[in-house]
Amino acid sequence: MKQPSSSSEGLLGSLFSSRAVDAELSDDALLRAMLDAEAALALASAETNVVPAAAADEIEKACQHGDFEIAQLGVQAESAGNPAAPLSRALVERVSAAAKPWVHHGATSQDILDTALMLLAQRAGREIVASAAAAAASCAELAERHRHTVMLARTLGQPAVVTTFGLKAAGWLVALDTAGARLDVVLAQRLAVQLGGAAGTLGVFGAAGPEVLRCFAARLGLAEPVLPWHTDRQRVLDLAAALGALVAAAGKLALDVELLAQAEVGEVSEGGAAHGTSSAMPHKRNPIDAALVRSASYRAPGLVATLYGASQHEHERAAGAWHAEWQPLRELVSIAGGALSRTAQLLCNLDVHVERMFEDVDVTRGLVMAEQLAARLAPLVGRSAALDTVARCCDIAVSSGRALRDVALADDVVRTHLSAVEVDGALGPQRALQAVPALIDRALASRKLPAASAKSA
């Protein structure tokens, strides 16, 4: 159960993951990142005259070479409690006697493993941000295209008033863009190298410690921390929170799609070839992408909570809390990758059934415009009387199956105060939707994720 393989070739295929993201999370990638960290450490130490340049070069070459056996390192990890310890021993074996003392010099296992996990998160995270940007770009396109596509707004599962599909898509956009941009910031600013040595003092480097730290960070393209953060896990929490929130934004969108795709609603459907067919029921078209995105949204909160729950690391290195982070962190990144790439795909293939949206509004016989009629009446008869009047008309419309317009025009209070034209004006969507284009424009203008960084799903 524990080691992610380097490909997405298992029985559950890539149901829950993205191949591009998972490639950055595999054991191969983790080993690569640990070697990158060891190499950068040697070079940074040479740069700051802590380690002889020749030794550092030799160590870097050994790191590049890559003749390390994952299975063997895994076996050795068991007695050390982590894979960084056997890796540094394996590196020592691969360099000359002169270089041996300088392998892993000044570092502790956590320095290498934390740094490697941050590299993984950064590399995989960029793919996720790109998927979020692609999904957001699709939302922006839908917002633009369906700016005026009138549809029911539904609250507590019931038709409420009218909105446009463009505004709904703009809502998805803002959430995805906000969450994606937040993740982007975390990747750039909060993912830092780890370097502190046995207990966070940078002791072995002497006074050169802070300078080694600076060079180490510069070489790896990660942030330079103020202090070693062996037991200060705020960075991990920032990453977890950002990933969880992005999955949540995707999950909301998927939930809307799933509900709109219900046969009885039928306002959108998932496109794509041979999509979501059922073995037992040949006529069905299942919203598979939405279901799988939602599956991620069920899983992310527990992973976020696990990382928050394991964030109190005692003393200078934790016994258990640290170890508890590794797999949940990779898993959270993985399912975020799966969720966002599926969301981008879902949006690319989304079929929007504009006519069904109109029909579903019509079916309410004007009841969803009741609020507008009450608002129109209120200044004339008082809000309470207006609400009472409209409620009475609605009750009659509901029980008789007549249109609200017809009932209203037959109502004494209404016809005393409003002409037929005024009633029609109140019951039409125009006024109710007057602010919608401006709202959509605000959403489009507020985008923080560069449309350019969007890859195809």
Q: Which residues are catalytic?
A: 278, 317
Q: Is 448 in the site for a copy of itself (CB under 8 A)?
A: no
Q: d(Cα 319, Cα 410) in Å, to the nearest integer?
A: 77
Which secondary structure element, helix H or strand E, spans residue 352, and what is its range? strand 350-352
Find the shortest distance in angstroms from Cβ 47 to a copy of itself.
Answer: 17
Compare residues 134 and 166 and give the one whose CB is closer to a copy of itself: 166
Compare residues 40 and 390 and give the one whose CB is closer to a copy of itself: 390
Find the shortest distance in angstroms from Cβ 264 to a copy of itself.
Answer: 4
Find the shortest distance in angstroms from Cβ 200 to a copy of itself.
Answer: 7
Q: Is 66 in the site for a copy of itself (CB under 8 A)?
A: no
Q: Which of 128, 245, 361, 449 binds a copy of itself (CB under 8 A)?
A: 245
Q: d(Cα 91, Cα 322) in Å, to the nearest integer?
A: 24
Question: What are the structure tokens assigned to 342, written together?
Answer: 């599926």
Find the shortest distance in angstroms from Cβ 317 to a copy of itself.
Answer: 3
Q: d(Cα 287, Cα 413) in Å, to the nearest integer?
A: 47
Pairing of strands 150-155, 158-164: antiparallel
Q: d(Cα 99, Cα 155) in Å, to the nearest integer?
A: 68
Find the shortest distance in angstroms from Cβ 219 to a copy of itself.
Answer: 19
- The SS3 call for residue 250 is helix
Q: Is 203 in the site for a copy of itself (CB under 8 A)?
A: yes
Q: Is 175 in the site for a copy of itself (CB under 8 A)?
A: yes
Compare residues 141 and 224 and give the one whose CB is closer to a copy of itself: 224
Q: d(Cα 25, Cα 40) in Å, to the nearest integer?
A: 20
The amino acid that residue 263 corresponds to is A
Compare residues 80 and 354 and give the one whose CB is closer to a copy of itself: 80
Q: Is 104 in the site for a copy of itself (CB under 8 A)?
A: yes
Q: Which of 49, 64, 189, 234 binds a copy of itself (CB under 8 A)?
A: 234
Q: Which of 207, 399, 401, 452 binds a copy of itself (CB under 8 A)?
A: 207
Pairing of strands 158-164, 268-270: unpaired
Q: Is 167 in the site for a copy of itself (CB under 8 A)?
A: yes
Q: Is 13 in the site for a copy of itself (CB under 8 A)?
A: yes
The answer to whether residues 94 and 420 touch, using CB atoms and an 8 Å cutoff, is: no
Q: Is 129 in the site for a copy of itself (CB under 8 A)?
A: no
Find the shortest distance in angstroms from Cβ 255 to a copy of itself.
Answer: 5
The answer to whether residues 139 and 131 touch, using CB atoms and an 8 Å cutoff, is: no
Burial of 283 (0-12, 13-18, 19+ CB in 10 A): exposed
Q: d(Cα 162, Cα 172) in Å, to the nearest integer?
A: 17
Q: d(Cα 113, Cα 239) in Å, to the nearest integer?
A: 16
The amino acid that residue 392 corresponds to is R
Q: Is 283 in the site for a copy of itself (CB under 8 A)?
A: yes
| CA 228 to chain centroid | 28
Q: Which of 320, 399, 412, 421 binds a copy of itself (CB under 8 A)?
A: 320
- Region of 101-109, 129-137, 347-355, 411-419 interacting with a copy of itself (CB under 8 A): 101-109
- In angstroms, the Cα distances linking 121 to 19, 242, 338, 383 are 15, 12, 14, 56
Q: Which of 59, 192, 217, 303 binds a copy of itself (CB under 8 A)?
A: 303
Compare residues 138 and 295 and give the one whose CB is closer to a copy of itself: 295
Write down the residue that tokens 């990758």 correspond to.
337
Find the shortest distance in angstroms from Cβ 126 to a copy of itself.
Answer: 17
Q: Which of 287, 346, 361, 408 binds a copy of itself (CB under 8 A)?
A: 287
Binding-residue total with a copy of itself (CB under 8 A): 204
* Footprint (CB under 8 A) of a copy of itself, residues 367-386: 367-368, 370-372, 374-375, 378-379, 382-384, 386
Find the shortest distance in angstroms from Cβ 213 to a copy of itself.
Answer: 9
Write down the residue that tokens 């310890």 correspond to.
85
Q: Is 452 in the site for a copy of itself (CB under 8 A)?
A: no
Smallest CA-to-CA distance from 374 within 358, 386, 388, 362 is with 386
Q: Is 10 in the site for a copy of itself (CB under 8 A)?
A: yes
Question: What are the structure tokens assigned to 212, written together?
Answer: 């080694």
**Residues β-bridged to residue 352:** 268
Q: Is 278 in the site for a copy of itself (CB under 8 A)?
A: yes
Q: Is 456 in the site for a copy of itself (CB under 8 A)?
A: no
| CA 59 to chain centroid | 37
Compare residues 126 and 330 and give the one whose CB is closer to a copy of itself: 330
